[in-house]
Amino acid sequence: MPKFSANLSFLYQDLPFLDRFVAAAKDGFGALEYLGPYAEPKEKIAEALTSSGLKQALFNTPSGDWAGGERGIACLPDRVEEFRAGVAQAIDYATALSCRQLNVISGLVPAGADFDILEEVLVGNLKYASVRCADAGIRLLIEPINLRDIPGFFLSRTDHAERILDRVGSDNLYIQYDFYHMQIMQGDLIPTFARLKDRIAHVQIADNPGRNEPGTGEINYPFIFAELDRLGYDGWVGCEYKPKSGTSEGLGWMNPYRKRA
Ligand SMILES: O=C(O)[C@H](O)C(=O)CO
Ligand SMILES: [Mg+2]
């Protein structure tokens, strides 16, 4: 049976951030995730997590000026120091929240930049971060993201993610496989997942087009959930979608997967 994690950067947007924790628990999620916890002190987040009774599945390492349009800094040559300081901050928060996974957002390709140099920087940063995370008992992940939603994003395909993993050469670096992004970029969702399953530590879902709830578009999620079970995936399934009309109201798709008392 799939285990669902509520992505609080997408769900419960009508509630203040820390109130989303209990709302997710009430709706039957087992864990939560979000872009980053850094706007709040870690003690406050730990308290909200404890009150909710949920697990912290994952969050991203600091990803630059998100509101200003940045989408990660890990491939940017002039941001290496900032990236590495961010890894320390992320590990500090993750340790306080008993969170065992951190995701790295690669960054946008700057105009005129040399792609090989950016890849070199990303590989160096991931070598550094995968060791720091391993020391703290945390898995490090990278996520390919579709180029329609984020034009110019550095990492958009699984074959590129595989090459990065090979080049980093760490047994503590994994792929975050977001079915929505991969439907847009590649299709062939389950064969690709099956081939890469030992390298995938976290999956995320949303339907396409629209990035709304499962069942609102072209992706056959009942089939995907059954395949995740059949293939022995036992990680969290991150619900990273834009609810069409209210988070709780739109959770009907989850009913077949709720544990029966
Ligand atoms: O947007 C996504 O798919 C991500 O998972 C993310 O964390 C930021 O872009
Ligand atoms: Mg995602």
The pLDDT of residue 259? 74
Catalytic residue from among 33, 119, 143, 213? 143
Whether 111 has a pLDDT exceeding 60, the answer reads yes
Domain boundaries, the chain: 3-257
The most distant pair of C-alpha atoms in the chain lies apart, rounded to whole Å, by 58
Q: How far is the CA of 260 from the centre of ligand 1 (A)?
A: 31
Mean confidence (pLDDT) of the chain: 98
**Segment 230-248, tens digit of pLDDT:** 999 999 999 999 999 999 9
User: What is the torsional sign of CA 71, 36, 28, 4?
Assistant: positive
Burial class (CB in 10 A: 0-12, 13-18, 19+), 100: middle
What is the CATH number assigned to the segment(s) 3-257?
A: 3.20.20.150
List residues near ligand 1 (CB under 6 A): 35, 60, 105, 143, 145, 178, 181, 204, 240
Q: How far is the CA of 225 from the centre of ligand 2 (A)?
A: 17
Burial class (CB in 10 A: 0-12, 13-18, 19+), 181: buried
Mean pLDDT of 256-260: 83
d(CA 59, CA 100): 10
Q: How far is CA 10 from the centre of its chain?
A: 12
Whether 126 has a pLDDT exceeding 80, the answer reads yes
Whether 136 has a pLDDT exceeding 80, the answer reads yes
Catalytic residue from among 33, 119, 213, 240? 240
The pLDDT of residue 260? 59
Q: State residue 170 phi and psi, 5-degree precision.
A: -105, 145
User: Is residue 240 annotated as a catalytic residue, yes or no?
Assistant: yes
User: Is residue 218 annotated as a catalytic residue, yes or no?
Assistant: no
Of the pLDDT bands very low, low, confident and very high (cuts 50, 70, 90), residue 37 is very high
| ipTM here | 0.97
The pLDDT of residue 261? 46
- 82 token code pair: 């900032």
**Segment 165-212, tens digit of pLDDT:** 999 999 999 999 999 999 999 999 999 999 999 999 999 999 999 999
Ligand nearest to the CA of 9: 1
Mean pLDDT of 40-65: 98
- Enter the pTM of the model: 0.98
